[in-house]
Structure 1
């Protein structure tokens, strides 16, 4: 490292220390966010060091992160994207590729998913002309079950895409077995669950494809960003093509002739020898990330174990502190799982002498941030009314979630004092309304 560069980075460290915010917690005054990025001195240095290279597109940091993250999640390939939502779009779109032959998903094919979740798990189904098949969830785990998925499989079913709800794994081993038995693709939306395990196996390793988000709310952050992972090299190649404009070439930006046959291809109706860098085998997108984002991701990845443990510790503290409080339905880990929690979800009993809205208002007035369990029952959202879909069974619990459920934070930026204040504030409200 040059002396000048070292001087710049030393100044960045000094700047970070001098501008660090006051971390004193004042109950009822200091805002407690339900989620957020935890960024330190090393993260700031990583961003600046990457910026100094002026490598503003994807580059060495991106490749290094993809390799390290694939290894961490025990997948053969990882492809960075500009968001977790784009990762879901790529994962579903990859299953429609002509390169899959008769296995490819075609317009009108059905994909099983859950009604209570985040829209971008479901949107790619509709965006690809496929039909979502909605199933309900349990109120203890906020996940669907393998039995519900099994009942939803019909003659047009070709794939399953389900998110691990708020970091809590669904019955993914059983669902993966259903997928194998019925020759279905399985996509795990692992955006909220990096580090979770089911039967001792990390989530994101059961399906054909898995997706991750690096938005600031998630376990690791790049500011924006996401990732698609798989151990199927054929699917990985399709994902890469769709992410990179749909091109057939696999050279990295700024590189040429990796295959040593750049001017020897004949594809489609193009003339023989057409430059492979400009042959397009898919109708794709440009959904890549940048090297500066990846540099931050690498710095964050080094802290992942600590982040996971902090999330679990904060969740346990809330669960123990609120245990037995009347009128509240508290969350439970899925049996045989060890979640890497995204949030602490609470459902107000419909028979309670107070409402979710009243409890949320009480918390928000005291600077405790809350969030809904995303979209609630998606079939009731204006974006999905009139859209093709099928419902199997009832969506009773999804409707309960829409009316009565919210969550509060467990992210690593919270201190024990903050968690205890959240617990005390909930108990104070319930006691007043008992």
Structure 2
């Protein structure tokens, strides 16, 4: 087959290589409670022309998707996991077992858990895939030290280097401690803001198997009286940023609208959960150490200040949302 099933809510860098490799994406919607691929929709899309399924784990969440994986295995379809934002997914998180996957993509980007510069990894047990990656990645050295140059390198892989690899290796030793601190910070913050109406996390921060790259939240538009669309969310973000809280919007469109080869071939309205999340979600970015409970308290105080003021400014929010 030449089709790759994946979620419409996705990172362009994860989906772009599908077209670069001469394959075609087949998008499905996401589970609203996970911000991950809708496993039933994906399982129902496993047709003979499907070669692989790409499961992207966003924000540090783990997307187990057992029905998707079972459907793929029963049909001989490859399973690829992008765990660049969820490094903990490489561990035995499925009832003591590892994810059923043929390959996991892991990032050493400075914004990720390893923070080693522009560095990428492919984790697999498939010797043929290992040999293939050695030949197409932008590196002048192969696994056995022989110098190799491939004319088929297309330039879409980061160039590995010894310095970045050494940084990544050194950070692995403290990774469990880092993940624990991230989880603790997010749990502390959520405990202090969980009673605010119209605010909910994308996944449970008390889940000790996730990686909590950052703390993703979403606005319940109906509860707060906002009209549909992103304007109400964006207004609240500006208020929080004015109070010094590091909150940001990640993506604002389905992934296919970011990629020229795919633009115009898919309709955003066909992915209602994706659009709902894109219009309502945001994240708190600075939850990693050395930030601690004291910093989380400052964040929480700002949230409470904004929420207490909302009744007074709700009319203004509606005006902005309607104008948009």
Contact 1:118–1:375 (Cα < 8 Å) also in 2: no
What is the SS of the residue equivalent to 1:426? helix
Cross-structure match for 1:213: 107
- 1:396 aligns with 272
TM-score w.r.t. the length of structure 1 is 0.63
2:137 counterpart residue number:
243
Equivalent residue, structure 2, for 1:227 = 121
Q: In structure 2, the residue corresponding to 1:152 is in which secondary structure?
A: coil
Aligned to 2:315: none
- Hey, what does 2:250 align to over in structure 1? 373
Which stretch has the larger CA shift, 412-421 or 118-127?
412-421
Q: Match of 1:147?
A: 40
Shift of 1:166: 1.0
- Alignment check: 8 A CA contact 2:16 2:259 kept: no
Q: How do 1:168-179 residues align onto structure 2 when only pairs under 5 Å count? A: 168-179=61-72
Q: 1:432 to 1:135 in 2, by over 3 A?
A: same
Further displaced range: 313-322 or 111-120: 313-322
Q: Distance in 2 between matches of 1:233 and 1:407?
A: 38
Structure 1: where are the runs of 5+ without partners?
A: 1-104, 255-276
C-alpha displacement at 1:295, in angstroms? 1.7
CA deviation after TM superposition for structure 1 residue 202, in Å: 6.8
Are 2:190 and 2:205, in contact at CA under 8 Å, matched by a contact in 1?
no
Partner SS for 1:199:
coil
The answer as to 2:90 corresponding to 1:184 is: no
Do the aligned partners of 1:125 and 1:132 also contact (CA within 8 Å) in 2? yes
Report which structure shows greater RCO (CA 8 Å, sep ≥6).
Answer: 1
CA RMSD of aligned residues (A): 2.9
2:94 to 173, 178, 199: 199
Q: Is residue 111–residue 131 contact of structure 1 (8 Å, CA) maintained in 2? A: yes
Cα distance, 1:308–1:178 mapped onto 2, change above 3 Å: same
Matched-pair contact (CA < 8 Å) for 1:117–1:376: no
- Confirm or deny: 8 A CA contact 1:220 1:300 kept in the other structure: yes
1:357 equivalent to 2:234? Answer yes
**CA 1:308–1:334 in 2, change beyond 3 Å: closer, same or farther?**
closer
The alpha-carbon distance between structure 1 residues 371 and 200, as it changes in their structure 2 partners (threshold 3 A), is farther
Normalising by structure 2, report the TM-score. Answer: 0.82
Aligned equivalents of 1:433 and 1:118: distance in 2?
33
Tell me by how many angstroms 1:209 deviates: 0.7
1:331 — aligned with what?
202
Partner of 2:302: 425
Spell out the pairing of 1:21-36 with structure 2 (5 A cutoff). Answer: none
Contact 1:376–1:401 (CA under 8 A) maintained in structure 2 = no
Distance (Å, rounded) in 1 between the aligned partners of 2:259 and 2:18: 17
